[in-house]
A and B are shown apart, each in its own frame.
Chain A
Amino acid sequence: MRDHRACARAGATLAALLAVSISGVAISGLAYGADAPDISGIYWATQYNAKIQLVGGGELPLTPAGQAAYDKNIAGLKDGSLTDNARKFCVPDGLPRVLANPYPFEIIQAPPGQTTIIYELSHQVRMIAMDKPLPSEEDLLVLPFFNGHSVGHFEGDTLVVESAGFKENTFVDATGAPHTDELRTVERIRKVSPTELEDVITMHDPEYYSRDWQARFVYNQRTDIRIEDYVCGEPHRDLSGVAGVRRP
């Protein structure tokens, strides 16, 4: 009988849950599934580019609307009528700009059912719900996030993260490249060596970009540093180990 089997399954699950909790190993390093790849740790780029670099090279494939928005942003940033809120008030950078930033970040595969990414820059936090669908189109529209809503799943050794529901007032990069609130991204995150993590992001925003395009970021895993506190306008860590950073 259907009820019987469900009850038996729930009973077995309860027993397994109790076994896990009683033995005290409920809090485990790989709280998300013992068989999931371990990508946890602290990572730090060694290269910074203010202008986003496309996989395969070349310029951003902007549509006429995209180019107009880009020109508007460049002009506004230049004459001061447009503020770079991410740098002035330390609100989150948005995607993919946060992936390019020259501060370290930490991936924590906890609690169960979640992957959490904590960026030292402006203490931004991305919570990635594992093996769940994205919120509905309506939910994404009424409650957009700077860094979008993210869901993830593993494909072999790769964490695939889909994001949507972005606030439209962030920039794609530090030069002010634009995106709309219809932006959707897919990141493929994996260890490419014992000490390096790669994040390849695919950008899908047809109103501003005539085709999907990708950017690739590689980070060194670090066991010698801790994520530090960050308060807007205060002095922060030495970034001289990151090529391409210019401090005004």
Chain B
Amino acid sequence: MSRFAKAATQKTASQETCPHRSAARSCLAGGISAALLCAGAATASAQDAASVKAAAPDLSSGDTGWVSVGGEWIAKAGSPPPVGFDPAHPYVPNNIGKQPTFRIADLANPNLTQFAKDGLKKSNDEVMAGKAMYSREARCWATGVPVYLLNPAQPTFFLQTPEKVVMIWQMDQQVRHVYLNVPHSENPEPSWYGESVGHYEGDTLVVDTIAQNTQTFVDNYRTPHSDKLHVVERYHLVEGGKAMQADITIEDPAVFLEPLQVIHRWRRVQGQMIESRCAEGNFNYFNQEVEPLPTAAVPDF
């Protein structure tokens, strides 16, 4: 293990021409799956690589962070459609040279229950009435699972031990705990991020989440969910380790007639996590009608 930690410092080694040294650097930067690909570049003294089987994905070492790509769920082939925008009110995101809009959901989505449509209509009405419906994480609220995966702009860091995986979104230090190789509790108390248990299947981290409170949504359109929400995420590296993909099943019979099967991707960045807190300097500069930040009217203790 200390050799692994020491190898990490070789990332910043000098630029000597040395095939093994640069291979070690790029192997480490590419993570464990890339290291397996690098097996061919090793010297004759290396371990016999014939017995290679896919090892658990390394999502954490070398100051690796993951930046979310896009804010909409992308349906896999065969999945019912996730909630999208009302064609009469197209969603225009930020930074594309046009006046951006807040999302207005398409209530004609064929996969929604009445409960889902009622919840979405409520949000749509608020947008139509002129409320500035910034996303929940922009207002510093915990977004629950799976919307945690859509946390934008700032990277998410992973910690991995044999017992657990922890995810930390840099902006606001939003933390999720995943307990490995244990079953769900009998009757977990509902909480903002629920109870997540997980395990590795070859090169994939599988996470199963239940018991979330009903104060969160399942997408950026604010589709509500019930206490029956069940989310499975399957994380694996793609693009030679430069990106990470999660295949996600979103199941809630109170909301969706059939479970959604969607994917989401992140690109890898490297750099130490910067302490960043959503509530700091979060002022309503333009006097818009915004949702309040989570605030303690009375000190907790």
B58 on the interface (CB 8 Å rule)? yes
When the two chains form the complex, which single residue of A13, A40, A124, A248 contacts B10, counting CB atoms closer than 8 Å?
A: A13
B287 on the interface (CB 8 Å rule)? no
Q: Indicate if the CB atoms of A27 and B272 lie closer than 8 Å.
A: no
Kindly supply a per-residue 1/0 record for chain A positions 1-25, scoring 1 wherever the CB is within 8 Å of any chain B CB and 0 otherwise: 0010011101111111111111010
Q: Indicate if the CB atoms of B3 and A233 lie closer than 8 Å.
A: no
Q: Could you say which residues of chain A place their CB within 8 Å of the CB of B214?
A: none
The binding surface of chain B is classed by DSSP as loop
When the two chains form the complex, which single residue of B20, B172, B273 contacts A11, counting CB atoms closer than 8 Å?
A: B20
When the two chains form the complex, which single residue of B41, B55, B174, B191 contacts A24, counting CB atoms closer than 8 Å?
A: B55
When the two chains form the complex, which single residue of A10, A19, A84, A245 contacts B47, counting CB atoms closer than 8 Å?
A: A19
A35 on the interface (CB 8 Å rule)? yes
Q: Indicate if the CB atoms of A14 and B299 lie closer than 8 Å.
A: no
Kindly supply a per-residue 1/0 record for chain A positions 109-146, scoring 1 wherever the CB is within 8 Å of any chain B CB and 0 otherwise: 11111001010010111010110000000000001011
Q: Indicate if the CB atoms of A88 and B296 lie closer than 8 Å.
A: yes
B95 on the interface (CB 8 Å rule)? no
* Measured CA separation A123–B160 after assembly (Å): 18
B161 on the interface (CB 8 Å rule)? yes
B24 on the interface (CB 8 Å rule)? yes
When the two chains form the complex, which single residue of B49, B60, B164, B294 contacts A231, counting CB atoms closer than 8 Å?
A: B294
Q: Could you say which residues of chain B place their CB within 8 Å of the CB of A19?
A: 46-47
Q: Indicate if the CB atoms of A127 and B272 lie closer than 8 Å.
A: yes
Q: Could you say which residues of chain A place their CB within 8 Å of the CB of B43?
A: 11, 14-15
Q: Indicate if the CB atoms of B162 and A29 lie closer than 8 Å.
A: yes
B16 on the interface (CB 8 Å rule)? yes
In the complex, 23 of the A-B residue pairs with CB atoms within 8 angstroms, ordered by the A residue number, are A6-B16, A7-B18, A11-B24, A12-B45, A13-B10, A15-B45, A18-B46, A19-B46, A22-B47, A27-B160, A40-B161, A85-B279, A88-B295, A89-B279, A90-B279, A90-B296, A111-B62, A111-B160, A113-B5, A227-B175, A229-B142, A229-B175, A232-B296
Q: Could you say which residues of chain A place their CB within 8 Å of the CB of B296?
A: 87-90, 232-233
* Measured CA separation A232–B274 after assembly (Å): 21
Q: How far is the CB of B28 from chain A (nearest CB, A)?
A: 7
Residues of chain A touching chain B, judged by Cβ–Cβ distance below 8 Å, are 3, 6-8, 10-22, 24, 26-35, 40, 48, 84-85, 87-92, 102, 108-113, 116, 118, 121, 123-125, 127, 129-130, 143, 145-147, 226-229, 231-234, 236, 239, 245-248
Q: Indicate if the CB atoms of B173 and A123 lie closer than 8 Å.
A: yes
Q: How far is the CB of A119 from chain B (nearest CB, A)?
A: 9
Q: Could you say which residues of chain B place their CB within 8 Å of the CB of A20?
A: 1, 3-4
B290 on the interface (CB 8 Å rule)? no
Q: Indicate if the CB atoms of B39 and A236 lie closer than 8 Å.
A: no
Kindly supply a per-residue 1/0 record for chain B positions 260-295, scoring 1 wherever the CB is within 8 Å of any chain A CB and 0 otherwise: 000000000000111101011000000000000111
Q: Indicate if the CB atoms of A29 and B163 lie closer than 8 Å.
A: yes
The interface centre, meaning the residue of B51, B55, B275 with most chain A CB atoms within 10 A of its CB, is B275
User: For residue A87, which residue of chain B has the nearest CB?
Assistant: B299
Contacts A14-B24, A24-B56; A112 near B38 (Cβ below 8 A): no
Q: How far is the CB of A110 from chain B (nearest CB, A)?
A: 5
When the two chains form the complex, which single residue of A17, A90, A124 contacts B4, counting CB atoms closer than 8 Å?
A: A17
Q: Could you say which residues of chain A place their CB within 8 Å of the CB of B297?
A: 233
Q: Indicate if the CB atoms of B53 and A24 lie closer than 8 Å.
A: yes
